[in-house]
Chain A
């Protein structure tokens, strides 16, 4: 009896002990499996990251707009330094930061004095010449590590279009704004990993296993940008700003059949290679981010809508164009206070007659006007492949009053972006198709090429409407206020615009946004172009500033494309 009790006690003890052991084993081998495996791998493997090269951004002819250059990280191995820190800083600072020697010298001294480190970085992205100069000094303890720096061979001419490459919060390279920002994931690729077995001292085992995960180089983007067109518009815009005393300006050139952007330039701009030296307000691209009231250029949309709905015809006469119109206590006038009673719709566009456009707006009605604004995608982004695109909201239909319909008919009280405005005119130039504007036409990834096809969003106008509208715009150029500047022998369809700038609830009396939008040759459009000048001082009118600049650029494009007069 006594012996049985002892045996039973031992039996229970061993069973419980067994369960405890099994439980503990289960904890380590099943529950903690992942954690322990990771710890074991961490002790057993040494890893090196193989950086991926950032993809290039090419112009349509294959020449680089953004590329990579070899650069170096200069570092100091503190135990190997034999020179005096002050002396070392005095030698290195003028090479590493020639524009700010004193600050660089103190930074070097501060980093060299760190007691808790053995390796300190001194400067990233040092050029090859800089490296050679430092090597010439024969300093012990100073080393180099290869890295890449982004280069922009065409300088600042496409700054806002391309964006730039900076560092994110973790110090990794990241594209910001423009194409660099929009296509950052595609451009940066994926770094590879090299893992080698290491011994207890942490040194690689020569005959040990090696695991290699290949890096994936960044994808190369082939854009629709014609770099000659880009160069022309940038140079001409520079001249235009100086000639007309404008604060800023934007030029966009599009291919009407595809919606491809051929050129896009804005001034003032910045050097994307030294973006940090410029004001942040210059980073975003006004061509896609600037919200402005278009003024008279918007008349082509309203007139097209009215023609498309057959509420007016080119020969329809305005019976309310004898003088200023008063709507909801507001008096609406023409830009030069000249009035043309019984003028036809052709003449309304030719004279850029605000009162005539109010007549057109009334014939169209608020419902149809609003539906056309929606058809043209106003109030929402165009979907262009640029990071900084913004879109002013379209006021809800139920908030529209009589005066809103009247002012919107001549392009005031409604805001859009330059890319939205040019897209409207592209639809008139190509027979009524609303195109999605795009910049990248091909993506190259490790030899594989992916083509990006043009996209028609929808048909917004009938071809007969666009033919009539084109003729009205040709007439406006041939007989309008800017006819003196038009290149001889070419049929150009266009429209000037002078919009007042809203400031704190009212319109500024002095400041305007002058613009001209058009396409050529009118019978077989090769390009659509928008020129926009902010606050020109030589004259506030689009016909005297933006229009001559448009014609000036067009002349060069005609020569470049070999477009002959006639």
Chain B
């Protein structure tokens, strides 16, 4: 299977099983900015007890869940990695956590379309707010690039009071302003038709 086929099958399985989910990470960044390579599909899921095994079986033929659950320190979420035999592309299943912003971004998720496959994404505002927390915690250059790309692509469509409210709570407002200052100013102006 190609990585695109794996992603589409995962989306179709989640839809068929009626499991609440949304595509996050680089997939959501690509949705709101420009495409960059992504070596795994990050998916937030809200699972009932016992659903993880059922889900992994339907994600792809022979899919294997890593026995080890991992805890992510920046936003207090846990994940399981699903490996697909014969592919280097992985699916990372993040459990919906009790974190206030995780709950809110999941509640606000929006419908998207993957060339005929219906799916769910966080809003552009929530991609920015979430990534800023990662930058504050992990200092990874690619997260900073992701935030700049989403900001530059969506600047005049964003709900700024919402972004500022969460950034103030997370202590990432200065970081947000710092990244905005790196974007060429003409990209922040309203687009002329």
Q: Do A and B come from one complex?
A: no
B residues engaging A (CB < 8 A)? none
